[in-house]
Amino acid sequence: MILVIAEHNNNNLKSFTLNTIEASSQISGDIDVLVAGNNFDNVLKEIASIPKVKKILSFKSEEYENQLPEDLTNLIMSVVDKYDYIIAPATAFGKNLMPRVAALLDVTQISDVIKILGKDQYIRPIYAGNALATIKNNDSKKIITIRPTSFEPSLNTGGNAPIENLSIKSDNKLSIFIKKEESKSDRPELGTARIVVSGGRGLQSAENFKLISELADKLNAAVGASRAAVDAGYVGNDYQVGQTGKVVVPELYIAIGISGAIQHLAGMKESKIIVAINKDEEAPIFNISDYGLKGDLFEILPELISELGKLNIIQK
Ligand code: FAD
């Protein structure tokens, strides 16, 4: 039996949960989904309509509004006996939660799985994506995180999964929620956007980085950044793409003023089409780009933005 942990914000199910369910279905068809939070009726409806879900375990509590990983771990441990697999997306949510569960069960966590070979064999990237490891896991309970962009989303219409309400005493109190600061943006979400425009150290300042946002707006794209750009304070760290940032697989990835360090490539090299703009023709980013534009970004970007402004781009 598989238990998938739903990622959601109490209003909507995060789409990566669908990819996680699809990946899980390659292990077994017996999939339950655990969802915990507060006032999340819409999320319950969304999960119930996924045909591959057998049952929903629901836990509603004001104390779970912010889904602190310590509390969620408590909840998972209360039902863990029934399950052979606990699976979550390899997002900040899953990465924060699953090691706690694995530690309490004293089993190995299998992280960032990109391919399911069988019930106990998986492929995952190692060394910043430079090698792929095939793992055979003999633990009786398998704690797995799935790289969502490596799997299609599961169909989410036509299902009718029953809901079982859980009741546990939520007396964990290992941590308390104080506040959340979320960056708000009208742009597509970085992790799921069809087009990503990313800027690096070559932008030189936060002010100049606005050129990246301007270009992104013309293309209805998400904005990304290299770690050097984040460390220099041009943008917040939720924009970071790479080994220690987000992994993105858009249809189009435009890397501007980014050299192409392996840690950056680990987060974007599976993009369908990669375009690089860089003044250094030796920059490694050109080795993996489908289209390379050698030149000064401060000349190229204003021209590109102005030309795109003349087109009537139909946003899908
Ligand atoms: P640089 O390497 O300095 O490249 C800047 C580029 O801009 C150069 O190629 C230059 O030619 C070009 N340029 C400069 N001026 C112009 C101009 N006017 N016009 C056109 N081009 C111009 N990095 C990540 O991105 N993501 C990660 O998740 C990540 N994780 C890491 C984890 C670890 C453990 C470590 C050790 C490093 C990690 N890094 C990560 C850092 C990574 O090694 C690089 O340092 C970083 O990616 C470099 O960012 P950059 O390409 O913007 O900067």
3-state secondary structure 62-126: HHHCCCCHHHHHHHHHHHHHHCCEEEEECCHHHHHHHHHHHHHHCCCEEEEECEECCCCEEEEEE
pLDDT score recorded for residue 74? 92
pLDDT score recorded for residue 301? 97
Alpha-carbon gap, residue 197 to 256, rounded angstroms: 8
Are 284 and 266 spatial neighbours (Cβ–Cβ below 8 Å)? no
pLDDT score recorded for residue 119? 96
Q: Using the mean position of ligand 1's atoms as its centre, give its distance from the Cα of residue 250 in Å.
A: 20
199: closest CA among 220, 222, 226, 219? Answer: 226
Residue closest via CA to ligand 1's atom 48 equals 228
Q: Measured from the CA of 300, which atom of ligand 1 is nearest?
A: 19
Ligand 1 probe mutation, 254, 258, 293, most atoms within 8 A of CB: 258
Residues belonging to the chain: 316
How distant is the alpha carbon of residue 153 from its chain centre?
13
Alpha-carbon gap, residue 66 to 179, rounded angstroms: 9
Alpha-carbon gap, residue 149 to 113, rounded angstroms: 10
102: closest CA among 133, 134, 76, 131? Answer: 76
267: closest CA among 290, 243, 287? Answer: 243
pLDDT score recorded for residue 172? 66
pLDDT score recorded for residue 128? 79
Token pair listed for 99:
């090691």
Token pair listed for 171:
């007396």
pTM for the structure as a whole:
0.84
277: closest CA among 301, 261, 247? Answer: 301
Alpha-carbon gap, residue 55 to 10, rounded angstroms: 19
pLDDT along the chain (316 residues), means of 10: 97 96 98 97 97 98 92 95 97 96 97 96 90 96 96 96 89 82 84 94 98 95 97 95 92 98 94 97 97 97 93 69
146: closest CA among 243, 14, 4, 23? Answer: 23
Residue closest via CA to ligand 1's atom 15 equals 202
Per DSSP, helices labelled H in the chain are 16-25, 41-48, 69-79, 92-105, 206-219, 227-231, 262-265, 285-288, 297-310
Are 4 and 54 spatial neighbours (Cβ–Cβ below 8 Å)? no
Alpha-carbon gap, residue 42 to 56, rounded angstroms: 13
pLDDT score recorded for residue 309? 87
Ligand 1 probe mutation, 112, 230, 278, 293, most atoms within 8 A of CB: 278
Residue closest via CA to ligand 1's atom 28 equals 242
Q: Using the mean position of ligand 1's atoms as its centre, give its distance from the Cα of residue 285 in Å.
A: 10
Coil/strand/helix, residue 171? coil
pLDDT score recorded for residue 311? 83
**CB-defined site of ligand 1, < 6 Å:** 200-202, 226-229, 240-245, 257-259, 261, 263-264, 267, 278-280, 283, 296-298
Q: Using the mean position of ligand 1's atoms as its centre, give its distance from the Cα of residue 284 in Å.
A: 10
**Do the strands 195-199 and 252-256 form a parallel or antiparallel pair, or are they unpaired?**
parallel
Ligand 1 probe mutation, 204, 238, 262, 263, most atoms within 8 A of CB: 263
Alpha-carbon gap, residue 85 to 217, rounded angstroms: 41
User: Cβ contacts of residue 302 below 8 Å, gap of 6+?
Assistant: 211
pLDDT score recorded for residue 184? 78
21 conformational bin, left if phi > 0, alpha if psi -120 to 50, beta if neither: alpha
Q: How many CB atoms lie within 10 A of CB 98?
A: 26
233: closest CA among 260, 208, 267, 214? Answer: 208
Handedness of CA 167, 173, 174, 178 (dihedral sign): positive
Q: Using the mean position of ligand 1's atoms as its centre, give its distance from the Cα of residue 266 in Å.
A: 12
Ligand 1 probe mutation, 112, 223, 234, 244, most atoms within 8 A of CB: 244
pLDDT score recorded for residue 17? 97
Q: Using the mean position of ligand 1's atoms as its centre, give its distance from the Cα of residue 278 in Å.
A: 11
Alpha-carbon gap, residue 282 to 239, rounded angstroms: 26
